Amino acid sequence: MKFRKLLFSAATLISVLLLSGCGYNMVVFEPQGPVARSIMELINWSLIWMALVVVVVFGLFGYIVWKYREKPENKDYEPPEEHGSMVLEVIWTAIPILIVIALTIPTVKTLYALEDVPPGYENVKPITIHVTSADWKWIFSYPEQGIETVNYVNIPEDTPIDFKLTSASTMQSFWVPALGGQKYTMGKMETQLYLVADHPGSYFGRNTNFNGRGYAGMEFEVQAQTREDFDQWIKDVKETAPKLTERKYEELLEPTHLGRMTFSNTHLEWVDHADPDSPSYTNPELYRYHGYQGRVFEEEDNYRNKTNDDKNLHEHHVEGDGNGGEHSGH
Amino acid sequence: MGIKWNEILITGDPLILGSQIAILLTMIGIVGGITYLKKWKWLWTEWLTTVDHKKIGIMYIISAVLMFFRGGMDGILMRVQTSRPEMEFLNAQHYNEIFTTHGVIMILFMAMPFLIGFMNLVIPLQIGARDVAFPQLNALSFWLFFCGAMLFNLSFVVGGSPDAGWTSYFPLAGKEFSPGIGNNYYAVALQISGIGTLMTGINFIVTILKMRTKGMTLMRMPMFSWTTFITSIIIVASFPILTVALALMTFDRLYGTHFFTLSGGGLDMLWANLFWLWGHPEVYIVALPAFGIFSEVIATFSRKTLYGYKSMVFSIVGIAILSMVVWVHHFYTMGAGPGVNSIFSITTMMIAVPTGVKMFNWLFTMRKGRIKMTTAMLWALAFVPCFVIGGVTGVMLGMGAADYQYHNTLFLVAHFHYVLIPAVVFAVFAGTYYWWPKMFGHMLNEKIGKWHFWLFVIGFNMTFMPMFFLGLDGAVRRSYTYSVESGYAPLFFVSFIGSIILALGFAAFCYNIYWSVRYADRNIPSDPWDARTLEWATASPVQHYNFAKLPEVKSMDAFWYMKKNNEGLTLKKEELEEIHMPSNSGLPFIMCVVFGISGFFLVFEWHIAAAVAAVGIFAGLIIRSFDYNDGFHVHKEEIEQTESAWRNGEGEVNRYVGKR
Amino acid sequence: MSANVNTSLPLEYQTEQSRMNILGFWIFLGAEIVLFATLFGVYGVLYERYAGGPTHQDIIMMREVMIQTILLLTSSFTCGLAIFEMRRNNLKGLITWLIITLLLGVGFLFMEVNEFLHYIHEGATMQTSAFLSSFFVLLGTHGLHVTVGIGWAILIIIQLLQRGLTPVTARKTFIIGLYWHFLDVVWIFIFTFVYLKGMVA
């Protein structure tokens, strides 16, 4: 029976090694740009050491359990008294420390490297793209080009993209696994991420931080293009795409799933959600689902309080429709 | 009062309707059964009012098994929903509620009470004491936990479940994005049971510091006592953080403050920090006692003393300290900067060092031993390889830069299930098989136990191993569905089959309990495993005063050497003295009810009603303050009778394993 | 359990159960320290997030706060005197000083409630900004502790009057003394890090 267990463990181990190293095509192991590639190299480095640990411990475990298991012929064997061994204990403290050091050095190096333009691209002028996540869509603004897209983002190949991340609603996470690691988007603050695609292609991106009912579908596409195609696309958009109005934008931020959209201006003209003093674009009444509804509080910095001419004001007014505990606690 | 009666009960979902009917029928069944058997008085005097640590321990364990069932059902539903792409078994909202309650219930209402149950059951016995330091407080702790658990479970049929994940990240969990009261349940129910846990921590620190029997120095304590001691310290150091975080959450949701909100200058990152400042130590609150159980089981069934005892103690202290300084690794991706992420990467990976020391010590305890393959030992053995996989993937996740690619994916989900299930779940199963005779005076069936073991271990690996690969392929956690084109379908299906096998394993466990309660041999000796620690030096089940005469300890593995040198096993009539024991009290149970009512009103934001009910809490405290009941004395005759009944007339502690 | 009586120790330490209760209470105070440390941490993170609302300088009434501080510090001193009288086995002195302590505590509480009402009147409520949320919750938690302490001490005084000084009542009195001093220490931190720092900043 022990043997079956051993076999099972060994099979598990082998499958870990096989599947992680090669075989099954996993997006993290098929990087399409220098950022993702540097992370993959770090992961592979760690896999070597971890495989070593697994082999040693599994081997020792299998050997000990097999050799010292109770058998009919050793029923009378009384195990010796042992209290430990200084030498052994020092060894199995020291070796893990060495392994941790071996992992720490490249980890720290990579952590710092990821904050900068990837090596080899320092001389290429980066393109800035503002990413605003909302429930449940991704909004990409190109301030230099003056265009805005929803749920897809086109980038030129071999150009560092300086993504400025923020959120118009909950905390979300921006991830394009083929190009690099993820980072959170948070309202009223800005995080930053450099990504580069080193050849044209379509890459899958999504939110990884749970944010309610529409979370599963909160995906986008990164389309890496040649420089010429990208420039042509920008030109086309500027000529053909409609303008985004403030009203239209407010509608956009309501909790919905949308397809792709393209606009020939950006919402940064009137609001930057990364600004700590920007208004809150929240619509609690649109989040009512089943169950008992509690009291919702009036927020002074809600966007509706600034647009008095908006006739939606009364329809959408947060309080006053008797939606919860009238007897507040204060 | 403006109560919307029609919204109180959740309607419209056939699954929930089924549960409502099932709950109603179960309650009618329980009440009817107790009435029919005329057991109300028995229930009240023997269980609801008890302050006996062993009975409280058993109540913790029973509640934990029930919660395991509830949390497990949630888990199965999740695996069914994701078994095929674009499945329409559950909708997104329902799925969100289910993974939220799965997480909360499994960690707070299954893992922790299960382990606290064993602490209650075993610690006073292991250190040679007659009860914990504050028996009535101990009962209150249990009832507060129970109250929180019931309140939380009520949510899915009354008012709506919490649906913001077990981490309840803001702003999502705030009123702007979750106006339903589901997340009020989260804040209030966890608060109530958290207070109970904090009291447990204090109780066990004092018990272990002050109530050890003669000769039981700290460095002679069994490893489970040590882990309980360190765990209690972590509880006291971390649970107040949860208390504050939940209180602020309550204020934000109920009174419109701006701690974590998007507006008014609130800071959502603050919640993440506070939550994980508690949450990471919480992982070790459940892991350390589990390590303690494995240490006991491995030493007993290898027939050897624990290898490297001192380094084991130092490593749990080391783990406890490190557990407080790694919380940022739960959100490397928040953009705190490379400096911060580097520091927390290092502290996180450092945890591997003391954990590795423990792993090797366990292996070397078995080396040169005679390993007996009981079901309890099998769990401990399976723990080693499975936990190593959890451990090495933990180191990989701890590497900040690499985590950018693993974060919030199923790789992470697979990792923490590979940590928590082998460590905690295998440990509580090992503990159940090991200490069952101590609790009930009969064994669990070993043959059904083997079925339970193999189904569960194989099912577990099948369920979670595929998730490592799914995660590396970009599949995220908490997503209720995925597309056909993603190509995730085959591995998700393997995972689904695994979860069914896992569930069959749990069913085998339940059947084992049923079978053993009905048919197992009652005529077993008090020390069936030929064990090493003091809890086996008393009767099974344990007499209510634990020890007729408190044992004197001369070395580690006290009972083993008592048996070997034949010292202190007999009891002379002259040695008997009257024993002072605490009286039962109904107050903790009444407090549970009052807390429950007050909490329920607070969840529904009926503030005045909640305040009125809260008066009951203060009334209870006042009654307790004026309670000068000093307990009662057990007479010599009663002790003599009880002792001669189990000591078999020969005054010898019986062995089971050796004689078969 | 109540065995192991040692009459050479002070009254409150004589039985084993009392020694355990006092140790347990010390550990509880340890948990309270973590609780307040967390609240201070929250305040430290949010204290400049005014969200367009009032700042420290706009609202703080330093004179009243000074008086509150003096009241509470004095009450801690009188509480010490009460325990001193208990050690001298002087029940009457003990109760007298305890009542004085409570009156000072009530005075503190009265002024704090007035202070809060003043702030609210000025439009600075818990809902105004993150700064004020953390400000009110930190101070409110302390105030709530003082309130509970007063109620608790009244129960102890009643028990002292009923039963006189016994090992049990002595232990209870000693524990509430520890609690009261703890609240005083917390106040010193509040005074320094909330009020003084707020005025300087």
Q: State pLDDT tens for residues C52-109.
A: 889 888 888 889 999 999 999 999 999 999 999 999 999 999 999 999 999 999 999 9
Contacts of A300 in chain C (CB under 8 A): 51-52
Residues B75, B420 contacting (CB under 8 angstroms)? no
Tell me what the mean pLDDT of segment B245-263 comes to.
95
Sheet holding A127-134, edge to edge: A191-195, A161-167, A127-134, A137-142, A147-150, A261-263
Q: How far apart are CA C147 and CA C150, in angstroms?
A: 5
Is residue B141 within a helix (H) or strand (E), and if so which, with residue range? helix B135-154
Contacts of C127 in chain A (CB under 8 A): 297
Domains of chain B: 39-585+629-644 (1.20.210.10)
Tell me what the mean pLDDT of segment B452-470 comes to.
96
Q: Which two tokens stand for residue A168?
A: 């118009």
| Residue A16 in this model has a pLDDT that exceeds 70 | no
Q: State pLDDT tens for residues C132-151.
A: 999 999 999 999 999 999 99
Tell me what the mean pLDDT of segment A117-146 comes to.
95
Residues B201, B284 contacting (CB under 8 angstroms)? no
The mean-pLDDT minimum among A26-35, A317-326, C35-44 falls in A317-326
Residues C194, C141 contacting (CB under 8 angstroms)? no
The domain ranges of chain C are 60-196
Predicted local confidence at residue B659, as pLDDT:
35
Which CATH code of 2.60.40.420, 1.10.3720.10, 3.40.250.10, 1.10.510.10 fits the domain covering A127-311? 2.60.40.420
Predicted local confidence at residue A169, as pLDDT:
92
User: Phi-psi region for residue A165, left (φ > 0), alpha (ψ -120 to 50) or beta?
Assistant: beta
- Residue B310, classed as helix, strand or coil, is helix
For residue A142, list its beta bridge partners.
Answer: A147
Contact A301 C125 (CB under 8 A): no
Q: How far apart are CA C20 and CA C11, in angstroms?
A: 14
Predicted local confidence at residue A10, as pLDDT:
54
Predicted local confidence at residue A23, as pLDDT:
47
Residues C49, C129 contacting (CB under 8 angstroms)? yes
Contact B468 A16 (CB under 8 A): yes
Q: How far apart are CA A18 and CA A22, in angstroms?
A: 6
Q: State pLDDT tens for residues B601-644.
A: 999 999 999 999 999 999 999 999 999 988 999 999 899 888 88
Q: State pLDDT tens for residues B313-359.
A: 999 999 999 999 999 999 999 999 999 999 999 999 999 999 999 99
Predicted local confidence at residue A306, as pLDDT:
66
Residue A128 confidence class, pLDDT cut points 50, 70, 90: very high
Count the residues in chain B. Answer: 660
Residue ranges matching CATH 2.60.40.420 in chain A: 127-311
Q: State pLDDT tens for residues B390-420.
A: 999 999 999 999 999 999 999 999 999 999 9
Tell me what the mean pLDDT of segment C33-42 comes to.
97
Q: Cα A239–A241–A246 angle (5° rounding)?
A: 125
Q: How far apart are CA B354 and CA A131, in angstroms?
A: 42
Tell me what the mean pLDDT of segment A220-231 comes to.
96
Q: Chains A and B: how many Cβ contacts under 8 Å?
A: 366
ipTM of predicted complex? 0.95
| Residue B49 in this model has a pLDDT that exceeds 80 | yes
Q: Which of B302, B349, B360 sits opposite A92 (nearest CB)?
A: B360
Q: How far is A46 from chain B (nearest CA, A)?
A: 7
Q: A301 to chain C: nearest residue by CA?
A: C51
Residue B463 backbone dihedrals phi, psi, to 5 degrees: -70, -45
Pick the closest to residue B428 from B115, B107, B120, B106 (CA basis).
B115
- Test mutation, C4, C20, C150, chain B, max B CBs within 10 A: C20
Predicted local confidence at residue A15, as pLDDT:
55
- Test mutation, B4, B98, B263, chain A, max A CBs within 10 A: B263
Q: How far is B613 from chain A (nearest CA, A)?
A: 15
Tell me what the mean pLDDT of segment B277-305 comes to.
96
Contacts of B477 in chain A (CB under 8 A): 208, 210
Which comes out higher in pLDDT, residue B649 or B550?
B550
Contact A330 C126 (CB under 8 A): yes
Predicted local confidence at residue A5, as pLDDT:
54
Predicted local confidence at residue B276, as pLDDT:
97
Place of tokens 């379908």: B489
Residue A140 confidence class, pLDDT cut points 50, 70, 90: very high
**Fold category of C60-196 in CATH:** Four Helix Bundle (Hemerythrin (Met), subunit A) (1.20.120)
Give the single-character DSSP code of A280: B
Q: How far is A251 from chain B (nearest CA, A)?
A: 16
pLDDT above 70 as % of chain B: 98
- pLDDT mean across residues, chain C: 93
B: neighbours with 3+ CB pairs under 8 Å? A, C
Pick the closest to residue A203 from A191, A226, A185, A221 (CA basis).
A221
Predicted local confidence at residue A9, as pLDDT:
58
A: neighbours with 3+ CB pairs under 8 Å? B, C
The mean-pLDDT minimum among B13-22, B37-46, B526-535 falls in B13-22
Residues B333, A183 contacting (CB under 8 angstroms)? yes
Query: DSSP string spanning A285-307?
Result: GGG--SS-B------TTBGGGT-
Residue A4 confidence class, pLDDT cut points 50, 70, 90: low
Q: A20 to chain B: nearest residue by CA?
A: B469
Predicted local confidence at residue A319, as pLDDT:
40
Tell me what the mean pLDDT of segment A56-62 comes to.
96
Q: Which of B8, B303, B363 sits opposite A79 (nearest CB)?
A: B303
Contact C51 B263 (CB under 8 A): yes
Q: Which of C23, C136, C152 sits opposite B209 (nearest CB)?
A: C23
| Residue C6 in this model has a pLDDT that exceeds 90 | no
Q: State pLDDT tens for residues B561-606.
A: 999 888 888 888 888 889 999 999 999 999 999 999 999 999 999 9
Q: State pLDDT tens for residues B172-200.
A: 999 999 999 999 999 999 999 999 999 99
- pLDDT mean across residues, chain B: 92
Contact C125 A297 (CB under 8 A): no
Predicted local confidence at residue A299, as pLDDT:
84
Contact B205 C137 (CB under 8 A): no
Predicted local confidence at residue B572, as pLDDT:
83
Residue A145 confidence class, pLDDT cut points 50, 70, 90: very high
Q: State pLDDT tens for residues B2-21.
A: 677 777 777 777 777 888 88
- Test mutation, C48, C121, C125, C127, chain A, max A CBs within 10 A: C127
Helices B223-255 and B309-323 cross at an angle (nearest 10°) of 10
Q: How far is C51 from chain A (nearest CA, A)?
A: 7
Q: Cα B189–B193–B196 angle (5° rounding)?
A: 155
Predicted local confidence at residue B656, as pLDDT:
42
Residue C3 confidence class, pLDDT cut points 50, 70, 90: low
| Residue A14 in this model has a pLDDT that exceeds 50 | yes
**Which C residues in the span 80-119 are in contact with A, Cβ-Cβ below 8 Å?**
none
Place of tokens 């870990």: A16
Name B611's Cβ contacts closer than 8 Å, sequence gap at least 6. none
Residue B365 backbone dihedrals phi, psi, to 5 degrees: -65, -40
Task: Find the DSSP H helices in B441-530.
Answer: 446-472, 489-519
| Residue A311 in this model has a pLDDT that exceeds 50 | no
Contacts of A318 in chain C (CB under 8 A): none
| Residue A320 in this model has a pLDDT that exceeds 70 | no
| Residue B30 in this model has a pLDDT that exceeds 90 | no
Q: How far is A188 from chain C (nearest CA, A)?
A: 12
| Residue A327 in this model has a pLDDT that exceeds 90 | no
pTM for the full predicted model: 0.93
